Structure 1
Amino acid sequence: MLAVSPSADAPARVRILDADEWRARETAHRERAEALTAGRRERATRGETHPVDDFLYTYYPFSPAQLARWHPGPRVVLADAAAGERAGWRWYAPGSEPGSLLVDAAAMAREKAPMLAGIERILRLTAGRAGHFGCFGLHEWAMVYRQGEHRHAVPLRLGQDGTDAVVEAADLRCTHFDAFRFFTPDAVPRNRFAPTRELQPELEQPGCLHAGMDVYKWAMKLGPLVPGELLLDAFELARDIRTLDMEASPYDAAAWGGAPVTIETPEGKAEYVRRQRGFAERGNALRAAILDAWLGPVDRG
């Protein structure tokens, strides 16, 4: 997409997509989204759930139908779009060409200013920090520490005593509030940090698996300001992260078709960090791409 940072001296440039081009992108997006959500939709017809694959639909309140809706992002004019259903979608306005539409980013910015400012701040601050790679996914272990009842009806791989021993031998260093808030009462004082919602912009860092999953949440909340292709990339990242999250958890991941990452061993720790670093790189690339598509490229020098 052709775009430059808006300024007082030069308005943002736009790209015009002819009908064949944008409709092809829309179709490709829908087909990709449907492939990604097929398992969820099939299980829903049977009244079944999967603790790994369905997590993204329960932890985040977004449906497969929302994921399947394609947007071009700001500063893109869609030719011959005004006669279709998109004309009734929120945050679209007439474009520069007769019968065209574009995302009304200015109107959304006026109405959603606090939310947008908060998302931008978290994306920029998270991407600008060094990642922490010594947590080893112990947030999931802290959620069952000294707890008789667990969130998932799946046996603990090491049993309760073995799980508790791993937590007690570890240095808990969770920085993410939405993971920390599920710690058991006995695990809370063992954590090096005390995350709160208010401190979230100051504590988020790219090595955190939950911060990586949240790139999907921010992309979805930005709605038409994020090109559909980036939204699906963020969803795929969140799905891949969730897989490691459960493989490295205290639960017996084999029950869900996964191979355990034994973070209580040196080999398991090394495997976890290797994959964690890869997710951090993917997450930061997506943060930069979302900010660029939404607000225009910035000088990163």
Structure 2
Amino acid sequence: MPPAATTVLAQEEWLPVAEEHRREVEALTAGHRERALAGRPHPVEDFLFTYYRYRPGQLARWHPGDGVVLLGDAARERLAWRGYAPWSGGGREGVVVDVAALTATQGRRLAHVRDVVAATRGRPAELGCFGLHEWAMVHGSATDPSVLRHERQPLRLGAAGTDAVVEEGARRGWLRCTHVDAVRFYPPSALALSPLQPTRETQPALEQPGCLHAGMDLYRAAFLLVPLAPSSLVLEAFRLARDVRELDMRASPYDLSSYGRAPVRVETAQGRARYASAQRALAVRGQELRDRLLPLLDALVDPTVVPAG
């Protein structure tokens, strides 16, 4: 029995939408693709493609989401893609997302992601970290230069000045990073200053919507749901992640003036206020995305759940 469908689209209806999506993504990723060919990395704009490993070509593939049948010769190519199944009805043949097939291939990872997203959605945003996770990652760089993740970029305040910001932040209770994938890059000297030691197991208990990295990870969550998640949702998550990375690096200890990025000086009271304001706006966008992701995650973790249309 073919998967259920709520909307049937003829090729002349959906193909222009797919082409428009492809053009939009190609415009957004043109700089990255040009730099990749030239071997010129960018510490801000290329991060999403190196950290999450999703290629621009994958992002450019348009998916309508659950319950939408695509008709036509171009649609049949999708039977070679993950998560699509043949559909027939009323004498017509097409393809549709197969939720059961996706469930079989994702397993425990999806359940963990769903737990993290749901728990984070239910918490208020904490806005008192001021982006010090990036500073903590390079604590002690004077004696251990290997901790510099962007070794081509100088530190704005130098090694000693950077360490002083981290240590003052620890004294004032600002060094409270809740995100495992940030803290795991802390050198031992910074870990000793951190009151929280998040792990993958404690992630559902600690993740909170004010965390920039939690918002950025919604891009990964959305991509895990492809093709159940419509490309409009994935692209929105990409845009959020891109904006998060921009703030993350501008508030970091690195001097990015050669890339045209003015710093958000979180070592000052004015800079901290500016950071918290931007962080709050990003947290609101992240919560809106979680509202859209949760029904899809529920449908994969428990296939008896019907995603909201």
Question: Do the structures match in fold with TM over 0.5?
Answer: yes
The C-alpha deviation readout for 1:149-176, integer Å capped at 9, x for no partner, is: 1111211111111111111111310000
Q: Distance in 2 between matches of 1:121 and 1:12?
A: 27
Candidates 98, 123, 127, aligned match of 1:133: 127
Question: What is the one-letter code of the residue matched to 1:290?
Answer: L
Question: What is the one-letter code of the residue matched to 1:161?
Answer: A
- Alignment correspondent of 1:288: 291
Q: Distance in 2 between matches of 1:206 and 1:156?
A: 28
Instruction: Label 1:81 to 1:273 Cα distance change in 2 as closer, same or farther (>3 A).
Output: farther
Q: Is 2:257 the counterpart of 1:254?
A: yes
Q: Is 2:94 the counterpart of 1:100?
A: yes
Question: What is the one-letter code of the residue matched to 1:118?
Answer: H
Q: Is 2:18 the counterpart of 1:26?
A: yes
- Alignment correspondent of 1:297: 308
The 3-state SS of whatever aligns with 1:34 is helix
Candidates 79, 83, 97, aligned match of 1:91: 83
Q: Is 2:140 the counterpart of 1:142?
A: no
Q: CA RMSD in A?
A: 1.8
The C-alpha deviation readout for 1:43-76, integer Å capped at 9, x for no partner, is: 1111111011111111111111111111111111
Further displaced range: 178-187 or 69-78: 69-78
- Alignment correspondent of 2:149: 151
Q: Distance in 2 between matches of 1:76 and 1:120?
A: 23
Q: Contact 1:82–1:94 (CA<8 Å) still a contact in 2?
A: no
Q: Is 2:52 the counterpart of 1:54?
A: no
Mark the runs of 5 or more structure 1 residues left unpaired by the alignment: 1-10
Pairwise CA distance, 1:286: 1.0
Q: Distance in 1 between matches of 2:109 and 2:195?
A: 29
Pairwise CA distance, 1:199: 1.1
- Alignment correspondent of 2:302: none
The C-alpha deviation readout for 1:157-196, integer Å capped at 9, x for no partner, is: 1111111111111131000011001111100021121111
Q: Distance in 2 between matches of 1:274 and 1:83?
A: 44
The 3-state SS of whatever aligns with 2:156 is coil
- Alignment correspondent of 1:122: 116
Q: Distance in 1 between matches of 2:129 and 2:190?
A: 14
Further displaced range: 11-20 or 254-263: 11-20
Pairwise CA distance, 1:279: 0.6
Instruction: Label 1:81 to 1:287 Cα distance change in 2 as closer, same or farther (>3 A).
Output: farther
The C-alpha deviation readout for 1:58-102, integer Å capped at 9, x for no partner, is: 111111111111111111111225764212212111224322110
Pairwise CA distance, 1:109: 1.2
Mark the runs of 5 or more structure 2 residues left unpaired by the alignment: 300-306
Instruction: Label 1:99 to 1:257 Cα distance change in 2 as closer, same or farther (>3 A).
Output: same
Q: Is 2:166 the counterpart of 1:167?
A: yes
Q: Distance in 2 between matches of 1:208 and 1:267?
A: 20
Q: Is 2:192 the counterpart of 1:193?
A: no
Pairwise CA distance, 1:20: 2.1
Q: Distance in 1 between matches of 2:85 and 2:308?
A: 23
Q: Contact 1:81–1:101 (CA<8 Å) still a contact in 2?
A: no
Pairwise CA distance, 1:218: 0.8
Q: Contact 1:207–1:280 (CA<8 Å) still a contact in 2?
A: yes
Would you identify which runs of 4 or more consecutive aligned residues in structure 1 move more than 4 Å? none
Q: Contact 2:139–2:187 (CA<8 Å) still a contact in 1?
A: yes
The 3-state SS of whatever aligns with 1:192 is coil
Further displaced range: 186-195 or 82-91: 82-91
Paired residues in the alignment total: 288
Q: Contact 2:85–2:95 (CA<8 Å) still a contact in 1?
A: yes
The 3-state SS of whatever aligns with 2:226 is helix
- Alignment correspondent of 2:35: 43
TM-score (norm. length: structure 1): 0.91
Instruction: Label 1:13 to 1:206 Cα distance change in 2 as closer, same or farther (>3 A).
Output: same
Q: Contact 1:40–1:53 (CA<8 Å) still a contact in 2?
A: yes
Q: Contact 1:80–1:100 (CA<8 Å) still a contact in 2?
A: yes
Q: Contact 2:219–2:241 (CA<8 Å) still a contact in 1?
A: yes
